[in-house]
Structure 1
Amino acid sequence: MEWMVDLIREYGFGIVFLNVLIEQLGAPIPAYPVLVVTGALEGGSLARLGWLTVVAVVAALIADVLWYRAGKAYGHRVLGRICRISLSPDACIRQTESVYGRWGAKSLLVAKFVPGFASIASALAGVVGTPFRTFLLFDTLGALIWVGSAVFLGSLFSTTVQDLLDVLTALGKWGLLLLTVAFAVFLMRKWLLRQRMVRALKMPRISVNELADLHAQGVSPTLIDVREPVLFEVSHIPGAHAWLAGAKKGKAAYAALLPAERHSHGLVVYCDCPNEVSAATVAKLLQRAGFQYVRPLEGGLSAWEAAGQQLEGVPAAVTKP
């Protein structure tokens, strides 16, 4: 364990840069604890703390700008790819869409405090056409708040952090084993929660080919897009209805679909997240509300587009920031 502490002392800035860059690129490797520890070790020098902040902010901005450009270039397809390396891949897109749809670029001020949110929010900013200057302003402020809070906490509690490091160093290999076990338990808990969610939402799906065949036969189920309206405006399956449009003014989200009897060909619900979790959640709700023949679209919007099917919507470049 001592060698790890010595490594942080010797190459702290380089480790922080790589850790922040990798985390903001989407890998589940928390950088905040390393920032706190490095801030504690550098707490005796304001100049060193300043450079530490600059290094970490630059690393975060590099990753965020890359995701922004990817979102602008590849659209919604990049969102699912980010979530596949997230600790909570089934929920991160939906949660980020909801927050960004409500607050826009201002949500970047707190994005880095929510695991998995920052990289998705950066890509989403590019997808919906948020101006680069606006994105860069709020993202830089958000990075400064995130890094600054960690560095401040580290310097403020430097004595406590140092005592903890001394205890772990004294434990030697057992201290390293303790940290490894704690991280493994954290990952296992996330995995178990994900599996429980997937099992709870298990239900029959409809494939893209099956849906396309129904359209070709003139049998058109009602299509429900459960993503945020800001993404619905950018691109959606032709003829689809925005799920959240019916939730305004205190109405239930499915109010616009009533009465249920008028959907004689059933309902197909789609999202753009791994395992169709958002779509399956809404499908379950619709079934409980009395709608019959409700099916999530397997693979969601990405699968529909990958199959060469048509999309419609407003180009991201002209959407509201």
Structure 2
Amino acid sequence: MLDLAGSLMGSPWLYLVLFLCAVLDGVLPLLPSEGILLLSGAFAAAGRPNVVLVALVAAFGASVGDHICYLIGRRLGPPALRRLRPGTKRHTVARWLSELLDRRGGVIVIIGRFLPGLRSITTLTAGVTAYPWRAFALFDAIGALMWGISGTCLGYFAGTAFQDSPAQGLVVALVLVAVVITINEIARRAQCRHLRSSSGRDDSSDVRE
């Protein structure tokens, strides 16, 4: 298994795989791209792949995926918003997200990059609500670069700590992958509960009014 993983990580095709995973994760969060990013960083501690290229390719792929999702929301969102009836839960949620982006758009775009499942919702909502593209591009680039660097460094330090024992380093990297994915899933569920509770409070206030 170690030899197979090593041959994959030492191949130039790894950068293409990493790029495509980051792009797809930004549009269809079926499998968090943190896994391959952490493993790439861990193997980079041994010299292959290049640690700088891993971080930059991952960040670029993440930003491309986010922009695709933003453009989908920008193109298809406004007609869908117009069809939402005021007073419905969907209309309330859309209004809440729009107001949140207006108040703290940059912070939301950056934080959303670190929450699988919610990162696509954040970028899609930014497009739907016509959040300014220049501001989105700036903050998304910051978030994507932070995500690429942090994930690569986390894997790299794990690989460095066990450089004399590659098998243990691989195990540690895999454990890190599982931990990061679990934390992200917990954060995603907590955010979803917060979103539902916020929309519920808004609905109740609309009824009182």
Q: Which TM-score bucket, shorter chain as reference?
A: 0.5 to 0.7
User: Aligned match of 2:204 in 234, 245, 254?
Assistant: 254
Q: TM-score, normalised by structure 2?
A: 0.66
Taking the aligned partners of 2:148 and 2:120, their CA distance within structure 1 comes to 16
**Alpha-carbon distance, 1:23 to partner:** 1.1
**Higher Cα Rg, which structure:** 1
Taking the aligned partners of 1:255 and 1:68, their CA distance within structure 2 comes to 31
Higher strand share: 1
Q: Kindly, what percent of the aligned residue pairs are identical? A: 25
Query: Unpaired segments of 5 or more residues in structure 2?
Result: 82-92, 194-198
Q: Report if the CA contact (8 A) 1:57-1:144 is conserved.
A: yes
Query: Unpaired segments of 5 or more residues in structure 1?
Result: 80-92, 171-175, 177-181, 198-225, 228-242, 245-252, 260-321
**Alpha-carbon distance, 1:130 to partner:** 1.1
Query: Would you say how many aligned residue pairs link Structure 1 and Structure 2?
Result: 175
**Alpha-carbon distance, 1:4 to partner:** 3.3
Q: TM-score, normalised by structure 1?
A: 0.45
User: Aligned match of 1:56 in 47, 55, 58?
Assistant: 58
2:114 alignment counterpart: 113
Aligned-CA RMSD value: 3.9
**Alpha-carbon distance, 1:165 to partner:** 5.6
**Alpha-carbon distance, 1:115 to partner:** 1.6
Q: Which amino acid aligns with 1:55?
A: V
1:138 alignment counterpart: 139
Question: Helix, strand or coil: the match of 1:36?
Answer: helix
1:156 alignment counterpart: 157
**Alpha-carbon distance, 1:254 to partner:** 2.5
Taking the aligned partners of 1:121 and 1:169, their CA distance within structure 2 comes to 33
Q: Deviations over 1:24-50 (max 9, x none)?
A: 122321211221221122236699222
Structure having greater relative contact order (Cα 8 Å, sep ≥ 6): 2
Higher helix share: 2
Q: Which amino acid aligns with 1:126?
A: G
**Alpha-carbon distance, 1:6 to partner:** 2.1
Change (3 A) 1:112 1:161: farther
Question: Helix, strand or coil: the match of 1:113?
Answer: coil
Q: Deviations over 1:171-191 (max 9, x none)?
A: xxxxx9xxxxx8xxx8xx99x
Q: Which amino acid aligns with 1:71?
A: G
Taking the aligned partners of 2:41 and 2:27, their CA distance within structure 1 comes to 22
Taking the aligned partners of 1:78 and 1:151, their CA distance within structure 2 comes to 38
1:273 alignment counterpart: none
Q: Report if the CA contact (8 A) 1:76-1:127 is conserved.
A: yes
